[in-house]
Structure 1
Amino acid sequence: MRTGYARTSAAHQELASQLEALHRAECHKVFQEQISTCVKVRPELEKALALARQFREAAPETPVIFERNYIRRPRATTADGRRPSTTTCSPSPSRSMTRASPSPKSRRS
């Protein structure tokens, strides 16, 4: 079972090339949406993952492949080539920005 997901974040972006790539990858079901990168809840992505989980539970011996196709945009830079210091998305207050340190067992000597 091969499930696909395509997303654009701006109205002027097109999904056609992503959908074509997912079609070439022989996806059985493709989910698509146009939603901002700032939005953390992506309904179509959740549906795609739920379908993949359902297939995995129903037929554990059958491989489930999730294809995500996207087009990378160039990162914003200032005139002198540096990245701007401001962001367009405010971080969610419920998410921690800290990184857990590795457990003692995972450290190498």
Structure 2
Amino acid sequence: MLAQADERADIDISGSAFDFVRSIRVYHVQFSQHQDRDGDCIRYDSTRLGSYGVQGDYRWQRSSVGAVPPASLLPRPEHCGWVSYRSVFVDWRDHEGNYGFEEVRY
């Protein structure tokens, strides 16, 4: 059975013991840039951020590559160099506050 995005947790997870759930962030990164013949920098950024709400409800919102954490392997050139990057980057804090992340390029 497929879970719907608007479903909520079956138990109350609003307490601080479940902050680790709300710390999970999922970045769907789709970014490219290049310099055109006129020297203009052409950028395409359709990065989205997925996160969990107080009761485990999941939502997507618009974001940008500027919001992607530095732990990502996303190239960050100072000038308009050629970049084409797609990945799913997930980060979180565990119940002790330790930072963790995983990234998959595709």
Q: Same fold (TM over 0.5)?
A: no
Q: Shorter-chain TM-score: what band?
A: under 0.3
Higher strand proportion, which one? 2
Higher helix proportion, which one? 1
Computing the radius of gyration from Cα coordinates, the structure with the larger value is 1
User: Normalising by the residue count of structure 2, what TM-score does the alignment of the two structures yield?
Assistant: 0.20
User: Normalising by the residue count of structure 1, what TM-score does the alignment of the two structures yield?
Assistant: 0.20
